[in-house]
């Protein structure tokens, strides 16, 4: 600790207070980042992590407290950028209509003058190769044409790239949320290299393993304050979760035994003409595993469209869908929390084709209590909620319907552990009541919760794991079979 104190302060935020109306987003938070260190920042959703990031990158001016870059007290987006602060945001912040090179032009104002296209392209390509060796991204494509993981890789590469001077501090907000294990490991290795060369990284992640293995120092936030700030070696998963204020719950391995009873609720022939076929039985929790983007989402969509017409509304819905990309196809951003929740069950809520307001409010109040949506009023805009709470509303939307099967497309992306635990519990009890869950997840912990797991590879089901066979080792082995791992 004494050693780091002697190093140059890249950013020092002390006693920062930010309030949004009555909500204290930051209540006197301190965060000092020195050159050549990687700081892990953890905390619940709504603990103030994103707010302090926005203060450091200049997007928000603090209402109280001092903020200095390399010793100079100043603030604003351009001041932050001039001092070498770069930020990779949780929600992707590239322009989807532009090519990779053009996005680099926007992020790097220095790329001007003759042949900036060529220079931008070589800049991104070099950086991509350095961070993710062996990637296969075509930098001439527009961002639209890239997969979500590729977009994240491009954004990370653009942020780490430097023309005249390298960035001093790169803030990574959930950088691995869409990356599979292999790419995440490449990124973590690069972060260590970058830090060793004197750069600093502020790493925000819900994957505690990454935080523990990659950071030098870990800062824990809770309710807008920093509650712990110690060397990473002094933490382990349990103490880290305790510091965040969650109690580590022992994982229940009481899987529903012999769940395969009766006829399959859903089934699908082998995809792409090879691999295994898919079956789901009543009350089962089925995981779709494998590396990101190997056909899991498409399989979910096919299952959904198999039962629900693309054209006509179905009278009695048997399947509900929880979207993964909540800003793209989950929430109605202009609507209230209640409207977002009740949209899927308006059929049950209406009499004579008119929505019964009383029953709608009742439904909202019930779910608010059951899944603890943290809001004073269900009529507030959905965007007033933190990301994790928005996701809870989307869960409630699916669970409030009469659907017996719920499809989930990696819904826990960027949700904090506390919320996850709450949702897992609800899922368990719903499954016990006979609902079937089909769950695509990129996180091993979630896959381990399932009764049965189908591992996808190259668009087809490569393996089926049941009960005790579901281990990280087996899933990985099935995802990378026959040496065709790209």
Partner 1 sequence: MKLSSGTIRLIIPAVSLVLLLAAVFYMQPRAMSYTGLNLLFNLAVPIALATIAQMLIMSVNDLDLSMGTFVSFCACVAATFLQSSPVLGILIFLGAIAAYAIIGVVIHIRGLPSIVVTLGMSFVWGGLAVLILPSPGGTAPTWARWVMTAKPPLVPMAIVASILIAAVTHYIVMRSSFGVLMRGVGGNDRSVERAGWSVIGIRAATYALAGFFAILSGIALVGLTTSADANIALRYTLLSIAGVILGGGQFVGGKVSPIGAVIGALTLTLAGSFLSFMRISPDWQIGAQGAILIVVLALRLALNRLEKREKSQ
Give the dihedral of Cα atoms 204, 208, 210, 216; nearest 10 deg.
70
Give the dihedral of Cα atoms 486, 211, 193, 76; nearest 10 deg.
110
Residue 144 interacts with partner 1 (CB under 8 A)? Answer: yes
Residue 346 interacts with partner 1 (CB under 8 A)? Answer: no
- Closer CB to partner 1, 144 or 372, in the complex: 144
Tokens of 210: 């990454």
Provide the minimum distance between the beta carbon of 140 and partner 1 in the complex, in angstroms, as a whole number.
7
Q: Which of 64, 73, 140, 372 binds partner 1 (CB under 8 A)?
A: 140
Residue 97 interacts with partner 1 (CB under 8 A)? Answer: yes
Provide the minimum distance between the beta carbon of 154 and partner 1 in the complex, in angstroms, as a whole number.
12
Residue 110 interacts with partner 1 (CB under 8 A)? Answer: no
Strands 85-88, 169-173: pairing is parallel
Q: Which of 26, 56, 107, 423 binds partner 1 (CB under 8 A)?
A: 107
- Closer CB to partner 1, 60 or 265, in the complex: 60
Contacts for 221 with CB less than 8 Å, ≥ 6 apart: 29, 41, 42, 43, 47, 48, 49, 52, 227
Please work out the total of residues on this chain that contact partner 1, with binding judged by CB under 8 A.
Answer: 30
- What does the alpha-carbon distance between residue 44 and residue 53 come to, in Å, rounded to a whole number? 15
Coil vs helix vs strand at 34: strand
- What does the alpha-carbon distance between residue 308 and residue 312 come to, in Å, rounded to a whole number? 8
Angle (CA) 378-381-386 rounded to 5° is 90
Residue 105 interacts with partner 1 (CB under 8 A)? Answer: yes
CB 227 within 8 A of CB 221: yes
Q: Which of 106, 231, 305, 343 binds partner 1 (CB under 8 A)?
A: 106
Residue 334 interacts with partner 1 (CB under 8 A)? Answer: no
Selection from 50, 56, 44, 116 nearest residue 81 by Cα: 56
Residues 288-307 close enough to bind partner 1 by CB under 8 A: 298
Residue 93 interacts with partner 1 (CB under 8 A)? Answer: yes
- What does the alpha-carbon distance between residue 278 and residue 460 come to, in Å, rounded to a whole number? 10
- Closer CB to partner 1, 2 or 115, in the complex: 115
Selection from 307, 278, 256, 205 nearest residue 435 by Cα: 256
CB 325 within 8 A of CB 91: no
Residue 166 interacts with partner 1 (CB under 8 A)? Answer: no
Q: Which of 23, 141, 163, 196 binds partner 1 (CB under 8 A)?
A: 141
Q: Is 471 exposed, middle or buried (0-12, 13-18, 19+ CB in 10 A)?
A: middle
Residue 44 interacts with partner 1 (CB under 8 A)? Answer: no
Please state, as a whole number, how many other Cβ atoms lie within 10 Å of the Cβ of residue 125. Answer: 18
Residue 109 interacts with partner 1 (CB under 8 A)? Answer: yes
Provide the minimum distance between the beta carbon of 188 and partner 1 in the complex, in angstroms, as a whole number.
25
Residue 116 interacts with partner 1 (CB under 8 A)? Answer: yes
- Closer CB to partner 1, 114 or 312, in the complex: 114
Residue 329 interacts with partner 1 (CB under 8 A)? Answer: no
- Closer CB to partner 1, 93 or 474, in the complex: 93
Provide the minimum distance between the beta carbon of 208 and partner 1 in the complex, in angstroms, as a whole number.
28
* Inter-CA distances, 263 with 274, 279, 283, Å: 23, 9, 12
Give the dihedral of Cα atoms 415, 421, 425, 426; nearest 10 deg.
-20
Residue 266 interacts with partner 1 (CB under 8 A)? Answer: no
- What does the alpha-carbon distance between residue 145 and residue 151 come to, in Å, rounded to a whole number? 9
Interacting stretch for partner 1, rule CB under 8 A, among 103-111, 189-197, 247-255, 305-313?
103-111
Q: Which of 23, 77, 383, 432 binds partner 1 (CB under 8 A)?
A: 77
Coil vs helix vs strand at 320: strand
Residue 81 interacts with partner 1 (CB under 8 A)? Answer: yes
Interacting stretch for partner 1, rule CB under 8 A, among 26-34, 106-114, 209-217, 234-242?
106-114
Q: Which of 94, 124, 187, 412 binds partner 1 (CB under 8 A)?
A: 94
Which positions lie near partner 1, rule CB under 8 A?
57, 59, 77-78, 81, 87, 89, 93-98, 102-103, 105-109, 112, 116-117, 138, 140-142, 144-145, 298
């Amino acid at each position: 600790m004494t050693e780091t104190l002697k190093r140059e302060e890249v950013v020092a935020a002390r006693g920062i207070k930010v309030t949004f109306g009555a909500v204290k987003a930051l209540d006197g938070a301190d965060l000092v980042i020195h050159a050549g260190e990687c700081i892990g920042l953890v905390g619940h959703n709504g603990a103030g992590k994103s707010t302090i990031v926005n203060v450091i990158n200049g997007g928000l001016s603090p209402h109280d407290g001092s903020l200095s870059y390399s010793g100079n007290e100043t603030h604003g987006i351009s001041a932050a950028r001039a001092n070498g602060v770069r930020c990779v945001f949780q929600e992707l912040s590239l322009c989807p209509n532009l090519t990779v090179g053009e996005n680099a032009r926007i992020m790097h104002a220095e790329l001007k003058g003759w042949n900036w296209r060529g220079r931008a392209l070589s800049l991104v390509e070099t950086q991509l190769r350095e961070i993710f060796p062996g990637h296969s991204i075509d930098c001439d494509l527009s961002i639209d044409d890239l997969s979500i993981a590729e977009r994240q890789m491009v954004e990370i590469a653009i942020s780490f790239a430097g023309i005249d001077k390298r960035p001093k501090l790169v803030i990574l907000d959930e950088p691995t949320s869409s990356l599979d294990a292999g790419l995440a490991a490449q990124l973590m290795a690069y972060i260590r290299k970058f830090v060793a060369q004197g750069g600093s990284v502020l790493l925000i992640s819900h994957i505690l393993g990454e935080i523990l293995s990659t950071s030098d120092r870990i800062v824990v936030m809770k309710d807008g304050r920093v509650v712990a700030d110690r060397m990473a070696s002094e933490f382990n998963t349990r103490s880290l979760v305790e510091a965040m204020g969650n109690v580590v719950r022992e994982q229940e391995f009481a899987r529903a035994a012999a769940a395969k009873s009766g006829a399959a609720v859903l089934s699908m022939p082998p995809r792409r003409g090879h691999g295994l076929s898919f079956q789901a039985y009543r009350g089962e929790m089925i995981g779709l595993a494998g590396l990101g983007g190997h056909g899991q989402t498409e399989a979910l969509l096919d299952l959904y469209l198999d039962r629900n017409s693309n054209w006509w509304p179905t009278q009695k819905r048997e399947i509900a869908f929880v979207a993964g990309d909540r800003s793209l196809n989950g929430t109605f951003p202009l609507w209230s929390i209640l409207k977002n929740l009740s949209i899927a069950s308006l059929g049950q809520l209406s009499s004579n084709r008119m929505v019964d307001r009383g029953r709608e409010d009742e439904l909202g109040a019930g779910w608010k209590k059951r899944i603890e949506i943290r809001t004073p009023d269900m009529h507030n805009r959905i965007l007033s909620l933190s990301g994790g709470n928005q996701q809870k509303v989307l869960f409630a939307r699916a669970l409030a319907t009469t659907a017996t099967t719920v499809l989930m497309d990696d819904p826990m992306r960027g949700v904090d552990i506390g919320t996850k635990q709450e949702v897992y519990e609800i899922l368990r009890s719903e499954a016990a009541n006979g609902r079937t869950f089909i769950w695509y997840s990129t996180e091993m912990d979630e896959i381990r919760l399932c009764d049965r797991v189908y591992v996808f590879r190259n668009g087809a089901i490569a393996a089926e794991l049941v009960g005790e066979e579901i281990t990280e080792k087996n899933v990985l082995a099935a995802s990378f079979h026959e040496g065709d791992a790209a």
